[in-house]
Amino acid sequence: MRCKKPDMTPFDTTHPPAKQNPLLLPLIWMLSYFQTRKFKLKIRKINMKGLKPPYILLSTHQGESDYAIVPLALFPHRANYISDMEGFAVYGKWLYRQIGCIAKRRFVPDYSVIRHSKTVLFQNKNILVLFPEARHSNIGTTAQISETAARLIKRFALPVATLSIHGSYLANPFWDEKHTRKSRMEATLSPCFTQEELQTLSLQEIQARIQERLHYDEYQWQKENRIKIADKNRAEGLHLPLYQCPSCRTEYKMDSRGDKLFCKACGKEWFLNEYGKLNGAVFTHPPEWYEWQRNNTEQEIALGNYAFTAKVRIEALPNEKGFLPLGTGRLTHTPDGFLLEGESLVPEKQLFFPSERMESVQTEYHYRGKDTCVVLSTRDCCYYLYPEQTEFSVTKIQFAAEYLHRIKKKRKKDSDK
């Protein structure tokens, strides 16, 4: 995915979305079937008989398998997908458009996406698929959901359905996607809003229902359904979302091997059993440990003690032609936002991303087999930033970015009253 010839020309978002190529649809369905067959995927469609395109589909987003589950759930209808920019670089612009994808840089407002969504729904009369979490799940629970989807739904006032997926995270957790675990999968497709309801519901009511319908906890689902994960490496990588020791409270000294988590500072060990329970831990439920860390980060910010700075390796993704290495720079995160500095950045050798505009931040644990990274995007380019230091956590950076956005947003609302 390296760009052979340096080209910082931004991706062209003016082209209208293409309908899914009818010649590729059988291939998409076939590949999706074989990809999910080993997980014994079961799809339930509840009260969907009267719902025909055009409509909006909101799907949970636990992992890679979701991309195969959605087309099978929508069979025999075709759809368009709001997709991250990187897919166009990985699969090529022509192919990615032909399978129905619309380019979007994560956590960056883009009016062209609204325009293309309108074309899909009102002109092409197809299904528009959104993944409101905008990321794979870090710890098997629903990621933060912004109001973007709710605003889009309210604006278009078309029927909305939801697809709730289970098992995708358990089979390929975001922190260790190279090892596939043996887990069954299931998905439930059902209506969420009618056109008549959307005429009367407020934005807040729409948002509340979206969050309710897309809520999941995979470890709870695993426990209730007695899903046995016998993989001997089932805990390997879990230290990436669980980076702080609850025993000695030291950060960035957690590690994992096989079915164990351990702290290199105090020597404490935890065993992840076959049903997703951590034995010997203060938190036996991994999401509780994860949320404890979030709370600690928020307290640190409230006390004025949070800051992150590191030397980073910079790779740019301005278009579908691939990644451009831009040398090294420095990334600083404070309550005001992210500051990226580097000699190769233009025009002023620095970029600033204010907290009030950053609902969240894209973080990667093993980006395409490479290192842990933070991704900051403008409307014209994505910057993949690989810190050179070892003692840090992108999970903590994500916690901080989300909390800082919330408090900045609240202060603005209070000042506008």
The Cα–Cα gap between 341 and 397 comes to 18
The Cα–Cα gap between 386 and 364 comes to 10
Q: What is the mean pLDDT of the chain?
A: 94
Confidence category of residue 417, pLDDT binned at 50, 70, 90: low
Query: For the segment 138-148, what is each residue's pLDDT rounded down to a tens digit?
Result: 999 999 998 99
Is pLDDT at 2 greater than 70 in this prediction? no
Q: pLDDT over 70 for what percent of the chain?
A: 98
Is pLDDT at 280 greater than 80 in this prediction? no
Query: For the segment 295-322, what is each residue's pLDDT rounded down to a tens digit?
Result: 999 999 999 999 999 999 999 999 999 9
pLDDT of residue 379: 92
Average pLDDT over residues 89-117: 94
Average pLDDT over residues 273-288: 92
Confidence category of residue 369, pLDDT binned at 50, 70, 90: confident
Confidence category of residue 1, pLDDT binned at 50, 70, 90: low
* CA trace torsion 353, 358, 360, 362 (10° rounding): -40
Strands lying side by side in the sheet with 55-59: 42-45, 186-193, 160-166, 55-59, 127-130, 79-84, 101-104
Report the relative pairing of strands 308-317 and 269-272 from DSSP bridges: unpaired
The Cα–Cα gap between 150 and 178 comes to 34
Is pLDDT at 151 greater than 80 in this prediction? yes
pLDDT of residue 411: 82
pLDDT of residue 368: 83
Task: Say if residue 9 is exposed, middle or buried (CB neighbours under 10 Å; 0-12, 13-18, 19+).
Answer: exposed
Q: Please give the domain boundaries of the chain with CATH numbers for all domains.
A: 25-225 (no CATH), 231-273+277-305 (no CATH), 308-416 (2.30.29.30)
Task: Say if residue 73 is exposed, middle or buried (CB neighbours under 10 Å; 0-12, 13-18, 19+).
Answer: buried
377, 362 contact by CB (below 8 A): yes
Is pLDDT at 4 greater than 90 in this prediction? no
pLDDT of residue 5: 65
Q: pLDDT over 90 for what percent of the chain?
A: 88
Confidence category of residue 346, pLDDT binned at 50, 70, 90: confident
